[in-house]
Structure 1
C-alpha cells in the first residue's frame, strides 16, 4: 500500500504567502503618512517670503485656543492666520478629496488607470467656471465661479451616468467611453468661451485652468469642507464591497454585493469630492491617479487601507506641491496643476514600464 496522504495543515498561511502584506505594514504606512503630513503642514505654514519659526506657530496656535503660548506681531499673525493656514488647510482638503476619489474610481472600474477626470467631472466643472468668467456672470457675487463649477461638475457626471445606462445596468466600458466623449465636448466648449473672452478674462481663465491655491481664504475652506468631510466619511464604509468587486462582477453579486447600486453611490461620492475640489482649486491632475498606485505597490490592493491612505497621501502630495509652487520660483508662483503634471507624467510612465516589465499588469 502507498503512503497515506499528508493531512492538510489547518493553520492559515502567512500573510506574505496569501499575496498580502503584514498588517503591521499598513499601520506603519498610515502613521508614517500622518506624521509626514503634520510636519509638512507646519513647515508649509512657516516657510515663505515672511518666515515664521515653528515654535512661533505652535505658540500662536496655543494662544488662539487658550492654552497659553503667545501671539506673534501684527504682521505675523495676519500672515499666519489669514494667508498661510487657509492655504494649508485647503491643500489638505483638496488633496485628500482627489486622492480618495482616485482610489474609489480605480476600485469601481477595476482599472488602475482610472481617475476622476475619466468620467468628465473635472472638464464639466471647468466648463462652468470658464463660462461664468467669459460671460461675466455674477449671480452669487465672488462665489459665482466656484458655485458654477461645482454645479456643472455634478451635472456632468449625472449626464455621463445616464447616457451610459442600458437595460437598467451600466457597463464600465460604456461609462468610460461616454466620459471620453463628454471630455472632448467640454474641451470644445471651453475653447469656444475662451475665443469670445477678452484679454483680462482669458488671463483669469488660464490661471484657473492651470490650478492654484493662491486665492485661498477661510470662506473657501468652509465651502469645500462639508463636501470633503461627507465624501471622506462615506468612502471607507464601501472598502469591503470594493474588495469583493475586485473578484469580478459575477462573484461579487453571488457574495451579496449590489454592483449597480455600489457604482451609483460611489460615482456620486467621487463627483462630490472632485467637483468641490476643482471648484476651489481649478484643475489639478495626476493626484488621484498616482497616489493610489504608489500605495497599492507599497501595501497591496486591499481597499480597507487603500481608501483612507489615498486621502492622506493626496493631502501630503498637494501640501508639498503647493509649498514648492510658491517657493521654487519665488517671488513668482508656479501653477500647481502644471507642477503636478510636470512631475506626475514621467513618474506615471515609469510606473507603466515597471509594471509591464515585472508583473505584466496589476494583480
Structure 2
C-alpha cells in the first residue's frame, strides 16, 4: 500500500498502532478463557466489570473466581509484559550493535541468569528469591561483559562487546553444566525454569518485573531518533553530533534492564526478540519512531499466542512456552540467515 500522499505516513502509523492494540486485546481475551478449566464468558465479564466498579462479583463460583483472578489474569499479564520486554530489547540490541541477528540474550544475560538460578536452587533458596537471583545474575553477566570488552579494546565497539559477551556466556554455561552434573537431583526444577514458564505467574511477580521493564521501555521509546542515527554507523552518527559511546552504553543498559527483568520471572524464552522486530521491519520499515511501539504491542500479542498454544497443543499437559517460541523461531532464524546472505551476495 502506498502512503506517499500528504498525511500518508501519519495514517500508516495510526492504522498500524490500532491494529496492534486490537491484536493485544484479542489475545488477552483468548488467554483469559483458554485453559484446562473452562470459564463462563458472561460470568468472567460480569466479574471483571463489576469488580472494577466496586459492585457484586458473584457471577462465578469461588473456584472459578480463584482461577480467573489468581491464575489466568496474572498469567496473561505476565505474558504480555515479558513479550513486550523481549521484543523491545531485541529491537534495541539490533540497532545498537547493527547486528540483524542480535537478541536479548546477546551479552550473556541468559547464561548469567541461568547460572545464578542454578546456584540458588542448589543451595535451597526460597521460590520467591529465584526471580531476584535471576535478575541479579543477568545484570552481573552484562557488567562482566563490558569490563572484559573494555580490557580488550574499545568498549563502545559493537564487535568487541559482542565477542566479550560470547566469552562470558561460554564460561557461565560451562559452570552451570558442571554444577548440574554434580547435582542431578535438581535437574528437573532447573530445566523447567530454563525452558521458559508462565504457569507460575503471580501478581507479585508481575509487579516486581513491571517496574524495571517499564522504566527501560520508556527510556528506549524516548531514544527512537538516537537508534535511527546509530543504525547508519558510528562515523556518520558522530558527524551528526551524537555521543556514540555514551548513547550506546545507555541504550544497552536500558535493554539489559528490560531483558534481565523479564528473564528473572519467565525463564529463558528465546526468539521473541528476533521474530517480532524483523517481521515488523518488513511491514513498516526500519524507522524506530513507529517500529518500537509496534514491537511492544506485537511482542505482547506474539508471546500470548505462544503461551496459548503451549497450554492447548497437548492439553491437559502443558508445553513450556520457550519450546513453542523455539519451534517457530528456529525456521524463522534460518529464513533470516538466507535473506541476509542473499542481500550481501
TM-score (norm 2): 0.93
SS state at 1:170 partner: coil
1:256 aligns with 2:241: yes
Once residues 40 and 218 of structure 2 are traced to their aligned partners in structure 1, the CA distance between those partners, rounded to angstroms, is 34
Q: 2:337: which partner in 1?
A: 352
Render the CA deviation track for 1:201-256: whole Å, top value 9, x for unaligned. 11101111111111111111111111111111111111001111122111211212
Gaps of 5+ in 2: none
The corresponding residue for 1:182 is 168
Query: Which entry has the higher C-alpha Rg, 1 or 2?
Result: 1
Distance 2:4 2:108 in 1: 39
Task: Please say which of residues 54-63 and 78-87 is displaced more in the overlay.
Answer: 54-63
Go from structure 1 to structure 2 and tell me whether the alpha carbon gap of 1:75 and 1:92 turns closer, same or farther (over 3 Å shift). Answer: same
Matched, 1:143 2:124: no
Q: Out of 7, 15, 25, which is 1:38 matched to?
A: 25
1:291 to 260, 270, 276: 276
Instruction: Give the secondary structure class of the aligned counterpart of 1:165.
Output: helix
2:113 aligned partner: 125
Paired residues of 2:221 and 2:289 also in contact (CA < 8 A): yes
- Find the aligned partners of 1:350 and 1:171 in 2 and give their Cα distance: 27
Deviation at 1:26, TM superposition (A): 2.7
Cα distance in 2, alignment partners of residues 108 and 170 from structure 1: 10
The answer to which of 251-260 and 67-76 deviates more is: 67-76
User: Hey, what does 2:71 align to over in structure 1?
Assistant: 83
Counterpart for residue 235 of structure 1: 220
Give the match for residue 50 of structure 1. Answer: 37
CA displacement at 1:356 relative to structure 2:
4.3
For residues 208-223 of structure 1, the aligned pairs below 5 Å read 208-223=193-208
Match of 1:26 in 2: 13
Q: Paired residues, what number?
A: 340
Partner of 1:211, secondary structure, is: coil
Unaligned runs of 5+ in 1: 1-13
How much has 1:286 moved relative to structure 2? Answer: 0.2
Cα RMSD of the aligned pairs, angstroms, is 1.9
The verdict on how the C-alpha distance between 1:174 and 1:315 changes in structure 2, with shifts beyond 3 A counting, is: same
Deviation of the 1:27 alpha carbon: 2.2
The offset of 1:336, in angstroms, is 1.1
- Counterpart in the other structure of 1:164: 149
Determine the C-alpha separation between the residues in 2 that align with 1:351 and 1:164: 27
Between the aligned partners of 1:299 and 1:23, the Cα distance in structure 2 is: 12
Q: C-alpha displacement at 1:68, in angstroms? A: 5.2
Residues 63 and 162 of structure 1: is their aligned pair in 2 closer, same or farther, counting only changes over 3 Å?
same
What residue number does 1:301 align with? Answer: 286
Deviation at 1:70, TM superposition (A): 4.4
